[in-house]
Structures are given as structure tokens and as C-alpha cells.
Amino acid sequence: MDTRRSLRILATVLGTAGLLISGCTSGGSTSASPTTAPASSAPAVPAALKSYYAQQLKWRNCGVEGFQCTTMIAPLDYKKPDSGDIKLAVARKKATGPGKRIGSLLVNPGGPGGSAIEYLQSYAAVGYPAQVRARYDMVAIDPRGVARSEPVVCLTGPQMDTYTQVDQTPDDAGEVTDLGGAYKQFASGCEKRSGEVLPHVSTVETARDMDMLRALLGDEKLHYVGASYGTFLGATYAGLFPARVGRLVLDGAMDPSLNAVDLNRDQTAGFETAFQAFAADCVKKAGCPLGTTSTADAATRLKRLFADLDARPIDTGDSRRLTESLGTTGVIAAMYDESAWPQLREALAAAQKGDGSGLLSLSDGYYERRPNGTYANLMFANAAVNCLDLPPAFADAKAVTRAVPSFEKASPVFGKAFAWAALNCAHWPTPPTGTPHRIEAKGAAPIVVVGTTRDPATPYKWAESLADQLSSGTLLTYQGDGHTAYGRGSDCIDTAINTYLLEGTPPAKGKKCS
């Protein structure tokens, strides 16, 4: 695999991992109603925020060649700006030329919880098309509560190991109690270790941080590429500040109008679609570990493997054994990009022979578990943002039990696990500040919404819905597999997006690429 493409896949997968097993899919936050002022009248900076918008960023060497870093100060609570601050990490790589500089291009890989700075330094600022990097300063801000920006912390490494192994397809009352206890311990750990920041990591607050950064960078308009959850962040910005929208690319779009149950169930169906594509490819190959007859047989064999792991976890060469939960996570991780399918076939074949190391490796990558047994804060931040942005999908175990059949209809393979995973926000210590809502962003400049027809994590219909909601939205379709489309090898997609970023001209209505 091409190195830059590999880095891009890694960054995007890790940036969106938390949409699943942490249990509460990202949704809309409405702690402040989106602004709908016409483009001709950008709202003035509130008096209480003027000192923040007037601060001087002090850039320094990052320790990574070609990059500069700084710290931006924002109010911890935008409703009470005088009640304390939060420090947010920012990085940039200046435009390389040739050609006239357009401005700054902010990037966000998703999550919520993915480090935008890591994505910038490992891929965007070195792997985006040269003509884009030539004319934009490539910029990233780690959202509040994420990575370098006062990260949310919930569990120790050993505690997280235990958490990831808890059975997420409970078969009896005792296992239901164990799962609920794990969610309560996770939430309690977040409150204990990050209680001050926990109520202030909503998507709306992060969007307000982005507007402050836009101003401090000297840009009249915000130019932005967001993937997965990053599309919801970008759309939220557009709803709040339509007059300040520049060139926005929302790739792998989310639908802010859906509640948490529908979001989780839709995503369950998305992973079923991705699995069917993987299975259809696998059964054509000699030695496919899921058989060589049909996708239905492949699904049956995978479910049998999960059942076997539930009954008897297998060795991994590690102190941890491969449980059903870890095995399921490993399979899910490989659904994000078809380039991981060969690795998944090898891991499944090994697991059938009693070696769980391959699936454990995929699962560890998904959870951002380091070799020393510690974890990055992706999953902690993911839950913190999700549980703040929307009311919980389910209030209790009884509600999950009632919903399981509809989830299993969406995905016979993953449905039960996804339904129970959506229980975690029920025990969250901080009340949600958001509700489902449409985002129209009336008066905004043209916004490009990108959808992939067999995207597992952000189903294509979400892109259709967001493009329809946005008053200036244009849908660009990638007919293919995997999560997101820009930079995945489609010249059609890349040309359309590059033209928009460089010239401001969105693709033709209804444009489809493969």
C-alpha cells in the first residue's frame, strides 16, 4: 500500500472509531440555536468574547519539520466567559506555493475524539494534493477534550483492557448487570478524572472555537475539510456562522436531524452493508475463511465464530484472550477500508485455528491501545462528546431489549452488539445539551457534501439528507466501498473537490464518481 494512503487510512479509521463500540453515535448539539443571519451581515463578536478574539497567537517550532504550533485560549463555558479558560492546541504548515495563497484550510478527521493535529502532521499537510497545499496554510486544532487540548481521561490502561472485554451481547441477567456496571464505571471514571471539562466539550462549543481560530488566523471566511464526525462539526459551524462559511467539504456526512436510536440503527445497517461487500469479495477467493459459497453462508460462519468466542475466548500470545467483544471490534475495524480486507481474511483464518492475535491487533488499533498497555484518549473523548450532544439512545436495559430485534433486522451479524453498545450514555454524569435538529445554514456559500454508497460508518443516506438540509449544499457521490471518499484513489472525486477548494466552484448537481 502507498505510504501516504496508509497514513490517511489510519488517521481516518482512528478518527471515527468511537462511533461504534463506545455506544452512542454522534449527533447534533443545540446548546445554542444555529444562527441564520444572511451572508451580508456577519454577526459581531459579543463584547464578552472580544478579548479572546483579540489574543495574539505565539507560534513556535513543533519539533516536526515544517510545522508550527501554538496554544489558543478559549472560554471554558461560552455562556459564562468569565468563569475560566481552556487551552487548545493548534498546528499549521504554511502554504508552499506556487500560486496566490487562498487562506487557511482547517482539517478534522472525525471521531469525535480524533486528533486533528495528528491527522494534519501524518497525512493532510503531506498527503493532500500538492496544488491544495501550495495555496493554503494547512491548519488543525485538537478539539476541546481531545489529545493535546486538555484531554478527557476516564480509565487506566488495565481498566480499559477490562472494559473492552466485557460481553456486549449479554445472554442472561448477570451479563446484563455486568455490562451496565462497566458503563457506570466508565462514566464515573470520566467524572472523577475530567469533571471540570466534561460539561464543555460539545460540538457547538468546538464550532465556536473554530470561529475564534478563523479570526486569529486573519481569515474572513472559514475554509474546511471534515471527515465523518468532522462533517457534523463543519455543518454545525455553518449553522452558527453562515456568513463566515468559505469552502466547506463535508466527507462521509452525518445527519444532525436524527436521534441517537436512529443514528445507531442506521450505522448498524451501514456496517452490514460493508460486511456484505467484504463477504461477496471473500467468497470468490480460494481459502476464504468464511467459505466459498455465498454471503449468507459467510454471515453464518462469522456468527458461529463470535458464538465460539463468547463461549471460549482464545489465545492471542498476549496476556489478554480474544473475547467475542474484542473479536467483533477487530472485524468492525477492518470494515472502514477495503484495503484492510486481506488482513481481516488472515485474522479470521487464524482465529478459526485458535490464534486470536490478528483480530486482537485490529481491535487494538481501533481502540488506540499502545504497545505498553496505555490508551490514547479517543474513546474517552468520543463518549464525552456524544453523550453531551444528544439524549441517550436508551434509558435502561429493558429499552435495549425491546430494540434488539430492529437492530438485528438492520444487521443479523452485528445488530445485538450495536444495540447494547448504545446503552452507555444512559449512565453519563453530565446531562445532554443538544437535541436532533436540521441544519440549513441559510445564506452560506456553496457547501460540498460527499457520500460513499457503501460507507459503513456514515451511511450514504445521511449524506443525501445533509445535502438536502443545507440551503447551499451540493451532494457529490462516490459509488464504492469504505469510509469517506477524498484521497481514496478516485480521480473523479479528487478533481471535483480540488476544483472546489482552489476555485470555489462546486461540482455539478447530482455528480457521481467511482
Told to judge if 223 belongs to the known catalytic residues of this protein, a careful annotator would answer no
β-pairing, 447-454 vs 60-61, is: unpaired
Catalytic annotation, pick one of 29, 228, 363, 411: 228
- CB proximity list for 369: less than 8 A, separation 6 or greater: 157, 160, 161, 363, 375
Q: What are phi and psi of 348, to 5 degrees?
A: -65, -40
Measured between alpha carbons, how far is 221 from 162 in angstroms, rounded to an integer? 46
Provide the β-strand partners of residue 471.
Answer: none
Helix, strand or coil for residue 324?
helix
Q: Is the dihedral of CA 376, 382, 385, 387 positive or negative?
A: negative
Q: State the alpha helices, DSSP H only, in 440-507.
A: 460-469, 491-503
For residue 432, cis peptide bond before it (omega within 30 degrees of 0):
no
Please, which residues have CB within 8 angstroms of residue 25's CB and are 6 or more apart in sequence? 19, 260, 263, 264, 267, 386, 393, 422
Q: Give, in order, the Cα–Cα distances in Å from 357 to each of 3, 230, 310, 332, 346.
A: 24, 32, 16, 16, 10
Q: Of 142, 251, 455, 494, which one is the catalytic site residue?
A: 455
Q: Is 142 an active-site residue?
A: no
- Angle at CA of residue 302, ends 297 and 308, nearest 5°: 125
List for the chain the helix, strand, coil content (%; round to 5): 50, 15, 40
Is residue 483 flagged as an active site residue? Answer: yes
Retrieve residue 452's grid coordinates: 460513499
Phi, psi dihedral angles at 68 (to 5 degrees) = -120, 150
Check 22, 202, 483, 494 and give the catalytic one.
Answer: 483
8 Å CB contact between 349 and 356:
no
Produce one character per residue of 141-167: b if its CB has 16 or more CB atoms within 10 Å, e if not: bbbbbbbbbbbbbbbeeeebbebbbbb
Instruction: Give me the active site residues, please.
Output: 228, 455, 483
